[in-house]
Chain A
């Protein structure tokens, strides 16, 4: 009897070990940290906030004061087409450097071929309470009665009305105008490179000139200084946002 109990205890120990091994082990796949870094430029040159005056094809000049925007559903796609979600929604702010570089840990170490994201917020997130209730998200609220949700982007500054020397203010605030889906799906090809350890950094570039000039020329004077209720302006900017982001560099 004693020997049978000893055998039973031995089997139990093996069983427990097997259970713990199964539970504790996450599989054989290695992991790494992915750093996303956002750089800002205007027509290929580094953005200078409140310092440099930039030209537009419509004949204006403008200077950039503030820019805040959401990228959401940020994900990597591997060679097999599997998607690895990095972030549900991230608020970038050119005046808050810490918001422009962030790290995602424990990302599977694979070869990735695409980085995709939504510029703005889809309808699942762009609704009252759709994002975590933080001070920063509260500041981005889109409180227009009947619309609700969040601003996708607040791009603010001053423009010179046709070289008159008279500066006016512009607020390119995009969002769910009249409940339209003004957000944009963007997918960027990554060069064939396997993610490395201990971290892997992807630097994106946001070219603000493309907000004004690609593929549509945005005319500050045509749409006035506030466009939250102007779906025509929103549609133009939605098209332009397709070309704003590029992959600047990838580093191990």
Chain B
């Protein structure tokens, strides 16, 4: 019996050793994966449906619940302005898709800005910020307006000191970033985290894409105009973000007074180029264009239909500029507007998670 059992020992021990080896490798991988996923119990994952590309999140500013809540407070807190009367939300109001119904927003000293406040919609995917793209991250974008004399007219040194002295913020910074020492960088990071959560993906268009709704005949006609070279909107305003995030001179002026991208690059060929805005939530974000010159969608469509202006830096995508535009019929214009209205998402402008925490604490 003892002799027979010896013959089984070799394969049994082999199997056991191999199993231990494989198990320890798998277990290690699993543990590492679980740690990477949880990292912290405060990690926040954006709820995005699969048509949207992967969100490009910065490694040095992951989304956390305390970070987002801190950012939300700071976004709505006038503590960031010189006389503590103006916040980011003074010019970026939720009910206007985080834009402004005024053509030019007024800053702390009641001075008009030079451009219409851009909306903050799905900005987590954006590659550049401001109409002229001078900021390459949300963190960088958050820094500029605080010290801009026609916006919040503050100094970061004073803002940081005010925030540090406040009763509520040091402990919130501790929760969000592991330190109660407030810095400009951490303020910007918190605001950026909050802004990354401002997602709009529940318009009728989104519901149709997800198979939850259907377009009307008119909306479908408008869609066909939008996504073909007939109205040719999609080359700049295509894909699920409804912006190509590039910079174009779209024919607003023969001689652009606001040179746009050129102010940042210094290149003459960039004169009159501005960042393509998203077409989501147009019902809430009038007026339109970088200078808010158009009050209604009808005016915008008329412009692209018959009102284009040629210039030396007109974008090659403006194929019909010589004729003044794409020359849509009255019916086509109505169809196009009908389609554009499917991009409106009322849940975005009413979501309490995006609202003023000092008025609507969650």
Answer yes or no: are A and B bound together in one complex: yes
CA distance A76 to B303 in the complex (A): 51
Q: A135's closest neighbor in chain B, by CB?
A: B53
Query: Which of the residues B10, B315, B317 comes within 8 Å of A11, measured between beta carbons?
Result: B10
Residues 126 to 147 of chain A near chain B (Cβ within 8 Å):
133-135, 137-139, 141, 143-145
By the criterion CB–CB under 8 Å, are B317 and A12 in contact?
no
A228 contacts the other chain (CB 8 A): yes
* B223, A133: Cβ atoms closer than 8 Å: no
Measured CA separation A158–B235 after assembly (Å): 17
Q: Is A217 an interface residue (CB 8 A)?
A: no
A163 at the interface (CB under 8 A from B): no
Which of A48-88 touch B at CB < 8 Å?
50, 65-66
Q: A5-B9, A15-B14, A134-B54 are in contact. Are A145 and B227 (CB under 8 A)?
A: yes
Q: Which residue on B lies nearest to A226, using beta carbons?
A: B229
- Name the contact of B322 in the complex, choosing from A12, A138, A166 (C-beta under 8 A): A166
Q: Find A139's partner among B21, B238, B321 (CB 8 Å cutoff).
A: B238
Say what secondary structure dominates the interface of chain B. Answer: loop
- On whether the beta carbons of B14 and A138 are closer than 8 Å, the reply is no
Contact B17 A229 (CB under 8 A): no
Residues of B within 8 A of A224 (CB): 319
Whether A139 contacts B320 in the complex (CB less than 8 A), given A4-B6, A8-B13, A19-B18, comes out as: no
Complex: A224 Cα to B229 Cα, angstroms = 12
Instruction: Output the least CB separation between A232 and chain B (Å).
Output: 15
Whether B17 lies near A12 (C-beta < 8 A) is: yes
> Could you say which of A168-176, A194-202, A208-216, A242-250 contacts chain B?
A168-176
B269 within 8 Å of A (CB atoms): yes
Q: Given the known inter-chain contacts A50-B269, A135-B125, A171-B317, please indicate yes or no for A16 contacting B18, CB distance below 8 A.
A: yes
State the Cβ distance, B349 to closest chain A Cβ, in Å.
Answer: 25
- A157 in the interface (beta carbon within 8 A): yes
A157 touching B53 by the CB < 8 A rule?
no
Number of interface residues of A (CB under 8 A): 36
Assess A169 versus B314: contact at CB under 8 Å? Given A8-B9, A12-B17.
Answer: yes
Asked if residues B54 and A229 are in contact (CB atoms below 8 Å), the reply is no
Which residue of the partner chain A has the closest CB to B125? A135
* Stretch binding the partner chain, chosen from B101-109, B239-247, B257-265: B239-247
Q: Does A162 contact B (CB under 8 A)?
A: no
Complex CA gap A241/B51 in Å reads 32
Flag B5-22 by CB within 8 Å of A: 1 or 0 each.
Answer: 010011001100110010
Query: A225 in the interface, Cβ–Cβ < 8 Å?
Result: yes
Evaluate contact between B54 and A8: CB separation under 8 angstroms.
no
Assess the B223–A157 pair: CB atoms within 8 A.
no
Residues on the B chain within 8 Å of A169, using CB: 314-319, 321
Residues of B within 8 A of A225 (CB): 319-320
Q: How far is the CB of B303 from chain A (nearest CB, A)?
A: 17
Q: Which residues of B contact A (CB under 8 A)?
A: 2, 6, 9-10, 13-14, 17-18, 21, 50-54, 56, 125, 127, 223-224, 227-229, 232, 234-235, 238-241, 244-245, 269, 314-322
**14 A-B residue contacts at CB 8 Å?**
A1-B2, A5-B6, A8-B6, A12-B10, A12-B14, A15-B14, A134-B54, A139-B245, A143-B238, A166-B322, A171-B319, A226-B232, A226-B319, A229-B228
